[in-house]
Amino acid sequence: MRRYPHPIVAREGWLFLGIAVAVSLDIHVFFGLAWALPCWAIALFILQFFRDPPREIPEDPQAVLSPADGRIVAVERVRDPYLERDAMKISVFMNVFNVHSNRSPVDGIVKQRWYHAGSFLNAALDKASLENERNALWIETADRQNVTCVQIAGLVARRILCYVDSGAGLKRGQRYGFIRFGSRVDVYLPLDAEVKAALGDKVYATESILARLKAG
């Protein structure tokens, strides 16, 4: 098992958690527990939102891993708007109680990155894929398979974070980004990929297999 080399609480949440705890403590000390309870509840919510536990990576080298925690809201043949190809799209919707750390679905090289400003529609809606703020990565595997992984902002999400760019190497399960407060990730795969995920499935980043790529 390879462990994700970061703290259990994602670094993106340290500032939010620190402020929430400091405010809660001040109110607790000066006004008492009853007044501080709502603030402590907010602090606990922030703590659970920014949790980032280590995950076990499946051994199958052809597996396409889920890049996010959540529920499968789309499995369909579509047009990949980034690589201009017919593809299988698998979409994972994250609510505010899911882990929001994003991890690479495959081993490969980032060939290109696209960022598009946009709306903040409910990320569970299919039109969010093309209308919401989004960040897309084109990842090419060692055997020339192309995977497009798209972070999409949601109704509440207002910040997409991505830490890699063109030329970066990614390993399956490697953390590459984060989306704050409810969102979605779309994965576009070659048409001959063997889909394993089904509509409505609950999936976990890195541990759940969405599909298998055809061996080169």
Tell me if 173 is assigned to some domain: yes
The amino acid occupying position 31 is F
- Residue 181 has what pLDDT? 67
- Which carries the bigger pLDDT value, residue 118 or residue 198? 198
Kindly indicate the confidence band of residue 72, based on its pLDDT and cuts at 50, 70 and 90: very high
Contacts of 189 (CB under 8 A, 6+ apart): 64, 87, 88, 89, 90, 147, 195, 211, 213
Residue 183 falls in the annotated catalytic set:
yes
Tell me if 201 is assigned to some domain: yes
The amino acid occupying position 24 is S
Tell me if 38 is assigned to some domain: yes
Residue 213's CB is within 10 A of a number of other CB atoms, namely: 22
Tell me if 97 is assigned to some domain: yes
pLDDT for 49 beyond 90: no
How many Cα atoms sit within 13 Å of 82 on the Cβ side? 25
- Residue 1 has what pLDDT? 37
pLDDT for 3 beyond 50: no
Kindly indicate the confidence band of residue 87, based on its pLDDT and cuts at 50, 70 and 90: very high
SS3 call for 62: coil
Distance CA 139, CA 150 (A): 11
Tell me if 4 is assigned to some domain: no
pLDDT for 128 beyond 70: no
Which pTM does this prediction carry?
0.84
pLDDT tens digits, 192-210: 999 999 999 999 999 999 9
Residue 97 sits in the same domain as residue 22:
no
Tell me if 154 is assigned to some domain: yes
Number of structural domains in the chain: 2
Tell me if 158 is assigned to some domain: yes
Residue 39 sits in the same domain as residue 93:
no
| Strand 70-80 to 63-65 pairing | unpaired
10 Å CB burial of residue 33 (0-12, 13-18, 19+) is exposed
- Which carries the bigger pLDDT value, residue 83 or residue 13? 83
Catalytic residue among 101, 129, 183, 208: 183
Which two three-digit tokens encode residue 33? 């527990």
pLDDT for 2 beyond 50: no
Contacts of 143 (CB under 8 A, 6+ apart): 215, 216
Residue 181 sits in the same domain as residue 146:
yes
Which two three-digit tokens encode residue 210? 């969405």
Residue 41 sits in the same domain as residue 143:
no
Render the burial of 163-180: b for 16+ CB within 10 Å, e for the rest.
Answer: ebeeebebebbbbbbbbb
Average pLDDT over residues 116-137: 70
Contacts of 41 (CB under 8 A, 6+ apart): none
State the Rg of the chain over Cα: 18
Supply the CATH number for residue 186's domain.
2.70.70
Percentage of the chain surpassing pLDDT 70?
87
Kindly indicate the confidence band of residue 91, based on its pLDDT and cuts at 50, 70 and 90: very high
Which two three-digit tokens encode residue 14? 């340290």
pLDDT for 129 beyond 70: no
Tell me if 5 is assigned to some domain: no
Percentage of the chain surpassing pLDDT 90?
64
Residue 30 sits in the same domain as residue 70:
no
- Residue 9 has what pLDDT? 81
The boundaries of the domain holding residue 88 are 63-212
Contact 179, 100 (CB under 8 A): yes
pLDDT tens digits, 10-23: 888 888 899 999 99
Residue 201 sits in the same domain as residue 103:
yes
Residue 45 sits in the same domain as residue 113:
no
